[in-house]
Amino acid sequence: MTRIPLLLTCGARCALALGAHAAGPANDGAARARSDANAIGFALQVAAGQGHTCALDAAGAVWCWGLNLHGEVGDGSSGNLRALPVPVSGLGRGVVAISAGYLHSCALASDGTVSCWGYNNAGQLGDGSTLDANAPVAVAGLAAPARAIAAGGFHTCALMDGGGVQCWGSNSNGQLGDGSSADHPLPADVSGLPGTATDISAGIDTSCAIDGSGGAWCWGAGNLGQLGDGANSDRHKPVAVSGLSTGVATISAGLWHTCAISDGGAWCWGSNVNGELGNDGASNSNTPVGVASLDSGAVAIAAGGHHACALLDGAALCWGGNDRGQLGDGTQLERHVPVAVDGLANDGVAIGTGDSHSCVVGADGSIHCWGRGDLGQLGDGLGADSSSPVGVIGFGDAIFNDGFD
C-alpha cells in the first residue's frame, strides 16, 4: 500500500490514524473494577492518532505520547517526540472523554466544553483561527454543551446536548455536513440528520452518526464507498447507510473504510485493499458487509488506517493491513478475517486504532499497544515497532508521578 509522507502540505487525502467511535463520558467496566478509581494511572479510554496516542485516566486527567510535530501531545512543546506519556497542559482533572485525530487531539470536560490542540491548518481546533496550538484551546461557539467528541483527519465533530451535531475544520469533501464545501474554523450545524443523534465518528474526510432509532448516517468523501449508501460519491449532507436503519450501537470511521456494530454483529464498508472489511475478501464495498466470525457478541469496534479491531467478550480481534504489526498477532502478515491479538488477558474494556498502531485498555486500568512505534506512539519508551502488545508506562501496575500540582 502507498504511504503518504508524514510532513504535510496535502489536504484531506493524507493518511489518517483514528480511534474508535466518538468519545463520550466513560462508564465502562474499568471504572467499576477498581475501588479507588480516582487514582492517576488507571486508564478509562485510549485514543490513537497518526503518530500519537492519548489516554484518559480515572481522575479525569489526560496523557499523550508519541509524535508532537504540531503540538498534538499538548504539553506546551512541539517538534519533538514523547516516548512516554506526559500530562496535557491546562486541563486539570475534569475531563470525561478524549479523541485523537490525524495531528490534533480534543478533550470533553464535565461541563460540556471542548478543548483541542495540535495541527490547525483548516481550523480543526475550533477556536476561530488556523494557528497550531501546543496546549489546549477552547472550542468557541458551540450551540449547546457537548456530550461526545470525534476528532478526524482535519476536522472535528461534537454531539450536542439535545442530539444535534456540529463540525468544524476542513470541508473539502463535505465532511462538515452543512451542505457546503467551505472550511469552518468555528462549529457549523450538520444539516439533515433525522431526530436526535446518539453517537458520532470522524474519519480522514468522512463523518458518521447514529440517530435515535439506531440508524447509521454518513457524509463527506464517498469515492471508495466509505459512506455505505450504495454509491461512490461525496455527500455534503448525511445519507443513510444501506441496511443499517436500526440496531446500530456504535460506529467508527477510519481512513477510507467505516465499521459499525449492529445487534452485536460487526459490519464494515469502503476500501478493502488490505482486507480491512474483514469479510475474507479484497474488493471494496459501498454497502456494509459482515465481518467474518463477528456476527454476535461484539461490544466495541475501531476502524484505523488500513485495519480495524473489535472487542468480543474482552478479547481483542484485528484484521486488515499488518505491515507494522498493527494486528498484534505476532506477525506482519495481512489478514482478511479477524485474528486474536496475542498475549492479552482477554479483559479489554476499550480499544483504539491509529494509522498503523492499536491499543486496548484492560479492566485493571492498564494500556497495551502494538504496531508502529518509531514515533513513540506505543508509549513503552523504546521507540520501536512491536507485533505483539507492550505495556504503556504509567498505567496499571507501572504508575509514575502524575505530574500535576
- Of 24-28, 162-166, 302-306, give the lowest mean pLDDT range: 24-28
CA nearest to 110, candidates 153, 186, 59: 59
Residue type, 302: A
pLDDT at residue number 92: 86
Predicted confidence (pLDDT) at residue 23 exceeds the cutoff of 80: no
To which residue does cell 489518517 refer? Answer: 16
Predicted confidence (pLDDT) at residue 399 exceeds the cutoff of 70: no
Predicted confidence (pLDDT) at residue 211 exceeds the cutoff of 50: yes
What digits encode the pLDDT tens for the residues 227-253? 999 999 999 999 999 999 999 999 999
To which residue does cell 481512513 refer? Answer: 255
Predicted confidence (pLDDT) at residue 269 exceeds the cutoff of 70: yes
pLDDT at residue number 289: 98
CB 285 within 8 A of CB 273: no
- pLDDT greater at residue 4 or residue 260: 260
CA nearest to 296, candidates 339, 247, 330, 344: 247
Whole-Å CA distances, 21 to 7, 201, 373:
26, 5, 23
Predicted confidence (pLDDT) at residue 9 exceeds the cutoff of 70: no
Predicted confidence (pLDDT) at residue 380 exceeds the cutoff of 50: yes
- Calculate what percentage of the chain has a pLDDT beyond 70: 88
* HSE value, Cβ hemisphere, 13 Å, CA-based, for 82: 26
- pLDDT greater at residue 203 or residue 8: 203
pLDDT at residue number 367: 97
Predicted confidence (pLDDT) at residue 149 exceeds the cutoff of 50: yes
Structure-block grid coordinates of residue 393: 508506562
Cα–Cα distance measured from residue 196 to residue 191, given in angstroms and rounded to the nearest whole number: 12
Length reported for the chain: 405
pLDDT at residue number 7: 25
CB 99 within 8 A of CB 23: yes
What digits encode the pLDDT tens for the residues 159-178? 999 999 999 999 999 999 99
Instruction: Kindly state the average pLDDT of the residues 174-191.
Output: 98
Whole-Å CA distances, 178 to 191, 226, 267, 275:
5, 19, 27, 32
pLDDT band at 41 (very low <50, low <70, confident <90, very high): confident
pLDDT band at 22 (very low <50, low <70, confident <90, very high): low
CA nearest to 307, candidates 262, 270, 342: 270
Predicted confidence (pLDDT) at residue 30 exceeds the cutoff of 80: no
CB 113 within 8 A of CB 139: yes
Domain boundaries, the chain: 29-391
What digits encode the pLDDT tens for the residues 89-140? 999 899 999 999 999 999 999 999 999 999 999 999 999 999 999 999 999 9
pLDDT band at 35 (very low <50, low <70, confident <90, very high): very low
Cα–Cα distance measured from residue 278 to residue 315, given in angstroms and rounded to the nearest whole number: 17
Instruction: Kindly state the average pLDDT of the residues 296-301.
Output: 98
To which residue does cell 476528532 refer? Answer: 151
pLDDT at residue number 160: 97
Return the CATH number of 29-391, one of 3.90.550.10, 3.40.50.2300, 2.130.10.30, 2.30.30.90: 2.130.10.30
- What's the whole-number average pLDDT of the chain? 90
CA nearest to 218, candidates 179, 251, 185, 255: 251
